[in-house]
Structure 1
Amino acid sequence: MRMGLAANAIHHDHDDAALFRWLRACEHGIRQLNLSLHAVGRTYAAIARVGYLEEYPGLLRYPYGHEGGLMKLVAEVVGMHEPQRTLDGAIYLINPVDPSSTFPEAVALKRQCVIHQKPFISTVASARDWIEMERIHAGLTADPGADDLHALESQTIAMIAHDAMKPQMMAYAADHFDVLARFARRVATGTTGQQLNELAWSRGWPQDKAWVDRYQSGPMGGDAQIADLVLERRCQRAIFFEDPHVARQHEADIQLLERAVTTVTDETVCMTSPRVAARWADAVRKRVHP
Structure 2
Amino acid sequence: MASERCVALIAHDEKKDDMAEFARRNRQTLANWRIVATGTTGGRVQDACPDLQVTRLKSGPLGGDQQIGAMIATGEVQMLIFFVDPLTAMPHDVDVKALMRLAIVYDIPMALNLATAGQLIDFMRSERA
TM-score by length of structure 1 reads 0.42
Q: In the superposition, relative to structure 1, how do residues 288 and 218 fare at CA in structure 2: closer, same or farther (>3 Å)?
A: closer
Cross-structure match for 1:180: 30
CA-CA distance at 1:288 after TM superposition: 6.1
Aligned length: 129
For 2:59, give the aligned amino acid: S
User: Larger deviation: 192-201 or 165-174?
Assistant: 192-201
Question: Does structure 1 residue 194 correspond to structure 2 residue 78?
Answer: no
Cross-structure match for 1:261: 103
Q: 1 CA distance for matches of 2:57 and 2:74?
A: 16
Cross-structure match for 2:94: 252
CA shift digits 1:148-174 (9 cap, x unpaired): xxx431211000000011111011101
Q: 1 CA distance for matches of 2:91 and 2:80?
A: 21
> Which SS does the other structure have where 1:258 is aligned?
helix
Higher Cα radius of gyration: 1
Q: 2 CA distance for matches of 1:257 and 1:280?
A: 18
Q: How does 1:1-80 map to 2 (within 5 A)?
A: none
Cross-structure match for 2:10: 160
Q: Which of 1 and 2 has higher RCO (CA within 8 Å, sep 6+)? A: 2
Q: What RMSD over aligned residues (CA atoms) do the two structures have, in Å? A: 1.8
| Structure 2 unaligned regions, length at least 5 | none
| Structure 1 unaligned regions, length at least 5 | 1-150
Q: 1 CA distance for matches of 2:67 and 2:114?
A: 23
Q: 2 CA distance for matches of 1:288 and 1:213?
A: 21
Cross-structure match for 2:20: 170
For 1:252, give the aligned amino acid: V
Q: Aligned residues: percent identity? A: 33
For 2:11, give the aligned amino acid: A
TM-score by length of structure 2 reads 0.90
Q: How does 1:103-114 map to 2 (within 5 A)?
A: none
> Which SS does the other structure have where 1:159 is aligned?
strand
Q: 2 CA distance for matches of 1:190 and 1:256?
A: 18
